[in-house]
Amino acid sequence: SQQGEEDPQALSIQEGENATMNCSYKTSINNLQWYRQNSGRGLVHLILIRSNEREKHSGRLRVTLDTSKKSSSLLITASRAADTASYFCATEETSGSRLTFGEGTQLTVNP
Amino acid sequence: ETGVTQTPRHLVMGMTNKKSLKCEQHLGHNAMYWYKQSAKKPLELMFVYNFKEQTENNSVPSRFSPECPNSSHLFLHLHTLQPEDSALYLCASSQEGSGFTGELFFGEGSRLTVL
């Protein structure tokens, strides 16, 4: 089974609301990364959080990491229609294996 | 612009054709990657090159043949593909450290359709 799993698979909200996506993983990690993908385009890196960090902010994004629960969350505050995209978490395991991606959360922000 | 350019953006080929996907990175990174993205499946890592040397091949069928002539260019040669190979093929680059992949910079992808 895959390393990272996002929850929910799909999320639909209104502009201005906050969006929260979760990621769970199975093994020890060096870092966890969040990426965004607009339909039919490449992935864009959003934020990287290291295993010794608990929270990180970047603009309207807030990422938390709980290594004891092997989970992370991505919060997008004051969402905009332009935030509509798929969001993926990716983990870099301590075993040295490559980044492993989850299946993603499809976020739709309705104007 | 992410600094990673992929061509072509769209490709339709028959099962007996031979075609190539091209990727170029302008970021000075030492590692380049090919990923496959199929509908409703996680990204699948296909190949990794570090300083032109292939460091990973994730049991990819031989009908996919990578080539990395230098650390800025990466090709994926395609021949006798199957319809199930239809997918979005993504190229990425990163500055790898010792046991550290780092942030990946992706191209826009090549949408491949095999008839």
What are the chain B neighbours of A33 within 8 Å (beta carbons)? 103-104
- Sheet of A71-76, strands arranged across: A5-7, A19-24, A71-76, A61-66, A55-58
Beta carbons within 8 Å of B3's beta carbon, 6+ residues apart = B25, B26, B27, B93, B105
- Could you give the dihedral angle defined by the CA atoms of residues B58, B59, B60 and B61, in that order, rounded to the nearest 10 degrees? 170
Nearest CB among A48, A96, A101 relative to B42 is that of: A101
Question: Is the pLDDT confidence value at A39 over 70?
Answer: yes
**pLDDT tens per residue across span B70-97:** 989 999 999 999 999 999 999 999 998 7
**Nearest-CA neighbor of B56 among A60, A93, A98, A69?**
A98
DSSP secondary structure of A44-91: EEEEEEETT-SEEEETTEEEEEETTTTEEEEEE-S--GGG-EEEEEEE
**pLDDT tens per residue across span A63-111:** 999 999 999 999 999 999 999 999 999 999 887 777 889 989 999 999 9
pLDDT of residue A3: 66
Question: Is the pLDDT confidence value at B43 over 80?
Answer: yes
- Judged by phi (left if over 0) then psi (alpha if -120 to 50, else beta), residue B83 lies in alpha
> How many degrees, rounded to 5, is the angle at CA B108 between CA B32 and CA B4?
40
Confidence of residue A1 (pLDDT cuts 50, 70, 90): very low
Q: What is the Cα–Cα distance from B68 to A43, expressed in whole angstroms?
A: 22
Q: What is the Cα–Cα distance from B99 to A85, expressed in whole angstroms?
A: 31
Cβ pairs A/B, distance under 8 A: 53
What are the chain B neighbours of A90 within 8 Å (beta carbons)? 104
Q: Do A40 and B42 touch (CB under 8 A)?
A: no
Q: Is A69 on the interface with B (CB under 8 A)?
A: no
Residue type, A46: L
Q: What is the Cα–Cα distance from B31 to B51, expressed in whole angstroms?
A: 6
Q: Do B100 and A44 touch (CB under 8 A)?
A: no
**Chain B closest CA to A92's CA: distance in Å?**
7
What are the chain A neighbours of B106 within 8 Å (beta carbons)? 35, 42-44
Q: Do A42 and B106 touch (CB under 8 A)?
A: yes
> How many degrees, rounded to 5, is the angle at CA A85 between CA A23 and CA B41?
60
- Identify the DSSP state of A14: E
* Distance from the first to the final alpha carbon of chain B: 31
Q: Do A100 and B42 touch (CB under 8 A)?
A: yes
Read off the tokens for B58.
């994730």
Q: Is A61 on the interface with B (CB under 8 A)?
A: no
Q: Is A43 on the interface with B (CB under 8 A)?
A: yes
